[in-house]
Amino acid sequence: AAGVIQSPRHLIKEKRETATLKCYPIPRHDTVYWYQQGPGQDPQFLISFYEKMQSDKGSIPDRFSAQQFSDYHSELNMSSLELGDSALYFCASSNSQDQETQYFGPGTRLLVL
């Protein structure tokens, strides 16, 4: 079965640079979620989109923005990167018709030097 696809899988950036993470949800899933997981930490919700509209917002810094496109894929844009942004970034997707189960992608590991 198709799963959530994230790219890139690994990314190295320097401070103050920008990064764009991409997420391709499971086919027919209309909702995407972004989470950040620091080393040894639990995933923290950042933001979610349903039908290309932002549906909820969590602890996402103002330096970050995200959007969902007409094909339901989503991009997380991160600017003015800081050392503390180094983390695993997960995207999850769900089908609003199929209860609440969120399926997670493999994550993008971002390292800010």
Partner 1 sequence: GESVGLHLPTLSVQEGDNSIINCAYSNSASDYFIWYKQESGKGPQFIIDIRSNMDKRQGQRVTVLLNKTVKHLSLQIAATQPGDSAVYFCAETLPNRDDKIIFGKGTRLHILP
By the rule CB under 8 A, 42 interacts with partner 1: yes
| Residue from 19, 21, 24, 33 in contact with partner 1 (CB under 8 A) | 33
| Residue from 5, 13, 30, 55 in contact with partner 1 (CB under 8 A) | 55
How is 20-49 classified by DSSP, letter by letter?
A: EEEEEPPTT--EEEEEEE-TT---EEEEEE
Note whether 82 and 100 are within 8 A (CB). no
Q: Are strands 103-104 and 87-94 parallel, antiparallel or unpaired?
A: antiparallel
Note whether 62 and 79 are within 8 A (CB). no
- Least separation, in Å, of the C-beta of 81 and partner 1? 22
- Whose Cβ is closer to partner 1: residue 7's or residue 79's? 7
By the rule CB under 8 A, 102 interacts with partner 1: yes
- Give contact residues for partner 1 (rule: CB under 8 A): 4, 31, 33, 35, 42-45, 48, 50, 55-56, 58, 90, 92, 99-107
